[in-house]
């Protein structure tokens, strides 16, 4: 009797295939700058290089296509951001549980903050579950001397 591992089934078009201190790979394509990745769209550059640069406008970009989950990778360490910055007011859709957080026709959802590496792992887990996910990933830049 064999107890081999089953291959991971990815239900989105994009997933994180590798990551390191200063890079991530999405579908085996190297990315060395901060970016926004999602389950169904190609990664796009994100001009954010430090959490101090995050604004409501930048965070709202992550909610643009109304994903199930929004992640923010804050770099090497997890940095908790102000809840006012992370909340997004969206219209109620087809989710029957949305009324729990709603005020009639609007609901509030928030992005989850974690280190960029944790966001990469969480992104893949949620994609494997078939969830719609968007992640804004901040990649720290290190001096070449270090």
Q: Is there a domain that residue 65 lies in?
A: yes
The predicted structure's pLDDT at residue 11: 62
**Residue ranges making up the domain that contains 67:** 16-137
pLDDT in tens, 115-126: 999 999 999 999
pTM above 0.85, yes or no: no
Q: Is there a domain that residue 11 lies in?
A: no
Beta strands at 24-26 and 29-31: parallel, antiparallel or unpaired: antiparallel
Q: Is there a domain that residue 98 lies in?
A: yes
User: CATH number for the domain including 128?
Assistant: 3.40.1230.10
What is the CA angle 108-90-109, rounded to 5?
30
pLDDT in tens, 74-100: 999 998 888 888 887 765 455 545 545
Q: Is there a domain that residue 124 lies in?
A: yes
Q: Is there a domain that residue 7 lies in?
A: no
As for how many domains the chain has, the answer is 1
* DSSP one-letter code for 13: S
């Amino acid at each position: 009797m064999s107890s081999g591992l089953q291959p991971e089934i990815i239900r989105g078009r994009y997933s994180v295939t590798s990551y390191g201190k200063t890079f991530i790979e999405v579908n085996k394509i190297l990315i060395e700058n901060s970016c926004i990745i999602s389950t169904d769209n190609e990664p796009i550059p994100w001009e954010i290089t430090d959490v101090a640069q995050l604004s409501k406008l930048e965070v709202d970009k992550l909610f643009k296509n109304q994903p199930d989950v929004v992640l923010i990778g804050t770099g090497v360490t997890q940095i908790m951001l102000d809840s006012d910055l992370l909340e997004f007011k969206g219209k109620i859709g087809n989710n029957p549980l949305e009324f729990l957080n709603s005020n009639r026709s609007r609901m509030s959802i928030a992005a989850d903050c974690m280190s960029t590496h944790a966001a990469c792992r969480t992104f893949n887990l949620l994609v494997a579950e078939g969830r719609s996910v968007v992640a804004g990933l901040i990649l720290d830049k290190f001096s070449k001397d270090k």
